[in-house]
Amino acid sequence: MLLKRWRNIWNTLAFRLTFLYAVIFCISIFVALFVVYLLSASIIIESTDRDLLNEHEEFASLYKQHGLEAIKTEAVIEADSEGPDRTFYRIFSRSGAELATSDTSAWSDLNPARTGFYQLSEKDDFKFLSLKSAEHQYGIRIMNARIGPDLILQIGLSLEKNAHFIEAFRKIFLVSMMVVLVFAAAVGWFLAKKALTGVAEVTRAAVQISEGALDLRVPIKDRGNEIENLAKTFNQMLDRIKTLISKMAEITDNIAHDLKSPLTRMRGMAELALNSSEFDNDNQALASKVVEDCDRLLQMINTMLDISETEAGAAKFDKKKVDIAPVLRDMVELFQPVAEDNAVTILTEIIDECYASVDVQSFQRMVANLLDNAFKYTSSSGTITVRAKNTEPFILISIQDTGVGISEQDLPQIFQRLYRCDTSRSQPGFGLGLSLALAIAKSHDGNILAESSPGKGSTFTVTLPSLHKS
């Protein structure tokens, strides 16, 4: 239940706009703060390097004025003042011999090679290096610098203070991001709901109109050009739809009156002539042909009227909650003699308890049309498989055949009225069966999808909203 509610919320445009706004806003803030974070870290390192260079200049000046002993003493004093665990000083000869050092008991894992001593070339006055150490979890910044012709000063500085600053900045960063996220979501939701107020009114009107209130119109208000244009266009569309429905109803009545009645009379007269003893065999054969053609035309007209009524929502369906699994099995059993006559194998893979709200008679007609279509284009020794399963929220009913298949250019048009593929020209029919099947499926809030490959058969899949058993 909770998952369904969350899915419904996620599917709303307001939520998606809010989510998108919040994500874009947060990403922008994140990038900005991250850049500030990188710049701050870079500035701190630069500041540390400047301090080390200042130390280098002081030691170089002291060496020139007072010699090696003076800088040895100064190194010990400086290390003690900062703390032996925070900094160290070492003086090496160019050959790598250690001439003087401060207390390095807290720096035992830093030998000259690891601290970059040998990386200082003849051309370099100084070089910086950042290291990780087991004894200093925050890292170390080391400078190797030349202070005399044959003397190299090495200063190591713990980055603990810098790390504490960066950690504090990181916490502020995370808290700021949470505050920004909440703020962005609230502002985004407010803006999205305000922007979509007009769309919500159009939606409410559309729902009422779909329930039969064809005279309802969306009120035009000053909510911005886009919403106002949407409302005007929607109202114009409704006017056009109402006109088309009225004309369709009028045309339907005219067809029923102007075609069905004369055809019925023609059929009646031809049937009387067929039963008359005054007609010879040729005339009786002609009368029989007239009766047959009238029946075909009446069937085509009735089917077209059924399609029109179903698509317009004028057809009356007695929808009930039904387990369609036994209905499908009955349909398959009904077509079993047809399968035997055509030497076609018909298989079923139908799962029980596929509950849906359907008008059983129209549902049977839809399935019958699909099965009839499959038998038409499946040759002897072929196979037709009827499947049904409940995937929630949909029931999937598929009818798969091993027939001639449908070409790629014909596939998008097979549900159009009176459309027939080249391969179906030799088969009886009007090209209305699939159109009626699709109209019935859509009237049940479902759909029909077709997949096919020439020479490999076709699969027609009906989707219907599923219902729970209870």
3-state DSSP: the chain helix, strand, coil percent, rounded to 5? 55, 20, 25
Contact 344, 375 (CB under 8 A): yes
Q: What would the CATH number be for the domain defined by 225-312? A: 1.10.287
Q: What is the pLDDT of residue 222?
A: 61
- Cα separation, 277 vs 282, in Å, equals 12
- Residue that the structure tokens 């040998």 belong to: 118
pLDDT of amino acid 196: 66
pLDDT value at position 400?
Answer: 92
d(CA 175, CA 434): 60
Q: Which pLDDT does position 226 carry in this prediction?
A: 63
Domain topology for 29-166: Beta-Lactamase (3.30.450)
Instruction: Provide the β-strand partners of residue 156.
Output: 88, 142
By residue count, the chain amounts to 470
pLDDT tens column, 326-335: 999 999 999 9
Tokens of 395: 């029931």
Residue 380, number of CB atoms within 10 A of its CB: 7
Name residues whose C-beta falls within 8 Å of residue 236's C-beta, 6 or more positions apart in sequence: none
Cα distances from 289 to residues 175, 263, 266, 282, 326, in angstroms, run: 87, 13, 12, 11, 40
Largest CA distance in the chain: 148
If we measure between CA atoms, which residue out of 133, 129, 140 comes closest to residue 163?
Answer: 140
Can you spell out the DSSP letters for 273-303?
Answer: HHH-TTS-HHHHHHHHHHHHHHHHHHHHHHH
Distance between alpha carbon 382 and the CA centroid of its chain, in Å? 38
pTM for the model: 0.45
225, exposed or middle or buried, with CB in 10 Å at 0-12, 13-18, 19+? exposed
Compute the distance between CA of residue 401 and CA of residue 417 in angstroms, rounded to an integer. 22
Number of Cβ atoms within 10 Å of the Cβ of 159: 21
Choose among 346, 363, 328: nearest CA to 437. 363
Residue 429, Cβ density class (10 Å: 0-12 exposed, 13-18 middle, ≥19 buried): middle
pLDDT of residue 267: 67
- Asked if 37 contacts 165 with a C-beta cutoff of 8 angstroms, the reply is no
pLDDT at 462: 92
Low-confidence residues of the chain: pLDDT under 50: 1, 425
Ordered alpha helix ranges (H), 130-224: 160-195, 197-210
Work out the end-to-end distance of the chain between its first and last CA atoms, rounded to an integer number of angstroms.
15
Mean pLDDT of the chain: 78
- CB count within 10 Å of CB 168 equals 10
**Per-position DSSP letters for 53-115, written without gaps between them:** HHHHHHHHHHHHHH-HHHHHHHHHHHHHHH-TTTEEEEEEETTS-EEEE---TT-TT--TTTT
Domain boundaries, the chain: 29-166, 225-312, 320-465
Give the per-residue pLDDT at 434: 85
Q: Residue 388: what pLDDT?
A: 92
Cα–Cα nearest to 91, from 104, 106, 108: 104
- Specify the 3-state DSSP secondary structure of 401: strand
At 216-252, the pLDDT tens digits run 777 666 655 566 777 778 778 778 877 776 676 566 5
For residues 323 and 352, the answer to whether their CB atoms sit within 8 Å is: yes
* Rg of the chain taking only CA atoms, in angstroms: 43
pLDDT at 467: 86
pLDDT of 213: 65
Name the CATH superfamily housing domain 320-465: Histidine kinase-like ATPase, C-terminal domain (3.30.565.10)
